Chains A and B, each alone.
Chain A
Amino acid sequence: GNSVTQMEGPVTLSEEAFLTINCTYTATGYPSLFWYVQYPGEGLQLLLKATKADDKGSNKGFEATYRKETTSFHLEKGSVQVSDSAVYFCALSEDGGTASKLTFGTGTRLQVTL
């Protein structure tokens, strides 16, 4: 079956530091890949996505590249802010026809301090 593996957190960084959160996946076929972010007390929000190999998703300074050869979709940001503190989830989507059946990683908590 499909699976997503994320680096364990928490990740603690100082403001303006470089961020990498690793994500690797196992899937049959050609899934779409996503990063979602969950702020405290809220639901998940889509951060970025990539639908095929070598696609780069980007949003709000965050980037991730769909690497089929290494089955990875690592999240990066050049300079984090305190407001980026949240839990980040990597996910893949099987083509379920009329539904997106997302398989999530376990989430990585990011804490950014001044």
Chain B
Amino acid sequence: NAGVTQTPKFQVLKTGQSMTLQCAQDMNHEYMSWYRQDPGMGLRLIHYSVGAGITDQGEVPNGYNVSRSTTEDFPLRLLSAAPSQTSVYFCASRSSGALPTNYGYTFGSGTRLTVV
């Protein structure tokens, strides 16, 4: 019963380094999203995808890239890390066919990233 799996759970980067946050789901969900959580800002949408090969920008996409080559995986790439990207990152997924009463996304447990 894995659900949404995010790796790593913790990461420290130096300014300018690049890295990929991994996200995998085993529920055959079409929709996947990346959010960052910052104090006082709530959860802000970075990028999202409605299916393999289809991605779109959210509220705060700058500095991040995504791709969706398979239904299961939705990695988030930081090309050149900046201290402003210090945050907790959450990946989420849901089925496009979810009923109104089950409309919610399933979230992973998060990746805490610190950029120094």
Q: Do A and B come from the same complex? A: no
Task: Report A's interface with B, CB cutoff 8 A.
Answer: none
Task: Report B's interface with A, CB cutoff 8 A.
Answer: none
